[in-house]
Structure 1
Amino acid sequence: MADSKLQAELNEWCDTEVIDITHAILVVGVGKDLEVAEIEEELHTVRCWGRVRVRGSKPYSDGDGVLVLCECKEVIDPRIVPPEVRPNEGAVWKIITYAPQPTSSAPAEDFSVKLQRFLASEGKTLADIQSMSSTDESVLRAMVDVVSRTTKTQAESHGYRRLRIFSGVTPTPAGEESLEYWLEQATLMVQESELTEHEKRRRILECLRGPALEIIKSLRLSKQGATAQEFLDALDCAFGSAESAEDLYFSFRLIQQKSGEKLSDYVRRIEPFLAKVVKKGGVSANDKDRVRVEQLLRGAIDSDLMLLQLRLKERRSKPPNFLDLLSEIRTEEEYQWEEALADAVRTQTGPLPNLWPCSSAEGETVVGV
């Protein structure tokens, strides 16, 4: 198999596994009996690509051994990657990388060629841009808009924080994230970023290991077009809590304020539990604010006076949202703290002297002490 065919194989394989090709190498001629750990150990002797993880293997139709797809920690520079690796035993392994880009010493392309290539990558033609307007000025404005939006997406793609490793192993290994925290970060990336769907899936896959990666592989075999959100749903289903919506709601209702715990701390503590109940369907999103207030009235056993001041019982029909409620509670806590401080000062120093003039019984003006 020629290098061009092997590079095409690498491109297709990376697309299938959702791996960034600039972090991938194709190892050709690996012995069929070698274990994954042995392959990775041999490749770790080459420093230019950093840590290596085997992502798949398949038969090599044009020679002995198998083809092995590896993902590398470092960005691959085809100019410095060795063409082959010589293991301690067996045949030489050939290394295939993505095709290097033309260097700056190559003749500069004509602007029209660059423009045509850019439009082709966006699935557009000059006719599409010209159809937006009849004037040359508007055509230029349309082109600037397309380029700026594309540049913004590319910048975000490079700048968004990479997710931490998640394997689904219990207890959570050192250097990994727990499922709950990892899902929060991954959900934020999927729902809030402007990355393409392909890039979102790739970013999720690149940080999965062990059982978690196997779950997503099984999902992709059963559903080729699975979205990034479906990846997260599958991981939550496989490794998340198995409690039903009713069980979660019952557990939420049992959470009480601790002795000495501020009401603001209590409302912050119950909020993640309420979010889980809503996510599982135990409480509708429309009833979330009402249920929160009811739980405060039920579980805040150390803040009766403050609950009266906030008049939450009378406001159950039109409850405040989480942020408004938290703001009201903190304002009341600050007021009560200032009152308690003033009482403490008066207790230690006695009543403040009256320096205002007052009338004596005989009508004379005196200064009270």
Structure 2
Amino acid sequence: MDAAAVTEWCIEEDVPVDKGLVAEVRGETWSEGEVLSILKALSSNQKVWAASSRVDNENPLTYVLCEWKYGVPDCLKGPSVETLDGTKLFLLLPEQESATPSSSSATPSTSSSTPAPVGASGQTVKGPIKAPLKNFNPELCAVLEEIVAQCKKDSPDYLTTGYRKLRIFSGRHPVPSSEDGFEEWMDHAVQALEEWVIPEKSKKQRIMESLRGPALEAICNLKHNKENCTAQDYLDVLQNVFGRTEDISELRCQLEHCFQRKGEKLSEFVSRLDKILHRMLVKKGLDSKQMDKTHFQQVIRGAQPMDPIVFKLQTQKGDGVLKYPDLVRII
């Protein structure tokens, strides 16, 4: 995949080219979560999410398109990065926009065949001929001035800048190829809702524009039965209608019985654990402040007892708890 293909992919997924990057894994197939966990660890102070992914099973190759909220960090603008276990991620940046043309080239030149305007004395007049203002109606001028002043008022940033749109979700089964499944769509929606610094009305509008079919009908029914709905209410009703039926007690049981399988990589075990913890957050069964502690404790408890990385984790933590970026970086 070259820079032009990366740029085209960014455009398809509504990812700004100055904030997008494709991570390529060669020789094996990885999930979005595995690639994203490494990139998050390398840019722990910035928000990043996976916009899309593609897999070439023949070679094999994995491509994950990622977007950073404040632009790709400098540490990821090189050709590749290497993890502690020797796995190399190749980094592909999109083509940057070409520089804007200079004023000399952008300004059209006057054709030599066009005669210049002539003044009353017969001399050539330079520049455009201006109509005398006295010929305009004063009331019309006042109206035009008011319109221009209104147009010059600064618009809010969220109206003038682009944003990452949610993929389409309809709730139909089987899931159409052009849509996301519910779990994937909800992951993106929860993350986007935290990042959109806009009025509540605009948040609801952005969620609604991504819904179709039964999913849209569920929101319409909610609006008929509840006044002053919030964007979080939209996500809650979609979770109740299309989400998993497990309750908090079942999720806690899944968490406590989530162990590393024989032959499973520790990173794959952590990825499975992430999904359970995320569902607990969505259902408000886990406080986000306790996320790191719960995550770390279950990794230590559920990993294979003789795994050398677990010994390293226990050594690194000391008397405290490793934060998620540090945990993923070591793994």
- Normalized against structure 1, the TM-score is what? 0.46
Matched, 1:243 2:254: no
Number of the residue aligned with 1:178: 181
The higher-RCO structure (CA 8 Å, 6+ apart) is: 2
Letter in 1 for 2:247: S
Matched, 1:325 2:330: no
Shift of 1:246: 1.2
- Alpha-carbon displacement from aligned partner over 1:58-111 (angstroms, at most 9, x marks no partner): xxxxxxxxxxxxxxxxxxxxxxxxxxxxxxxxxxxxxxxxxxxxxxxx999533
After the TM superposition, which parts of structure 1 deviate over 4 Å for at least 4 consecutive aligned residues? 106-109, 312-315
- Alpha-carbon displacement from aligned partner over 1:165-203 (angstroms, at most 9, x marks no partner): 211123323321111111222233333123443332223
Number of the residue aligned with 1:197: 200
Number of the residue aligned with 2:314: 311
Letter in 1 for 2:159: Q
What is the distance in 2 between the residues matched to 1:274 and 1:199? 29
What is the distance in 1 between the residues matched to 2:211 and 2:220? 11
Contact 2:260 2:303 in 1 (8 A): yes
Contact 2:313 2:327 in 1 (8 A): no
Contact 1:312 1:319 in 2 (8 A): no
What is the distance in 2 between the residues matched to 1:285 and 1:207? 27
Q: Identity percentage over the alignment?
A: 33
**Bigger Rg, structure 1 or 2:** 1
Letter in 2 for 1:110: L
Gap runs ≥5 in structure 1: 1-105, 120-145, 331-369
What is the distance in 1 between the residues matched to 2:232 and 2:151? 30
Number of the residue aligned with 1:154: 159
Matches within 5 A, 1:130-169: 147=154, 150=155, 152-156=157-161, 159-169=162-172
What is the distance in 2 between the residues matched to 1:161 and 1:216? 21
Which of 219, 223, 240 is the matching residue for 1:220?
223
- Normalized against structure 2, the TM-score is what? 0.51
Letter in 2 for 1:114: V
Higher percent of residues as helix: 1
- Alpha-carbon displacement from aligned partner over 1:259-310 (angstroms, at most 9, x marks no partner): 3333234323312212222333444333322322222222211643332233
Number of the residue aligned with 1:262: 265
Superposition CA RMSD, Å:
3.0
Residues 1:223 and 1:303: Cα distance change in structure 2 (over 3 Å)? same
Number of the residue aligned with 1:129: none
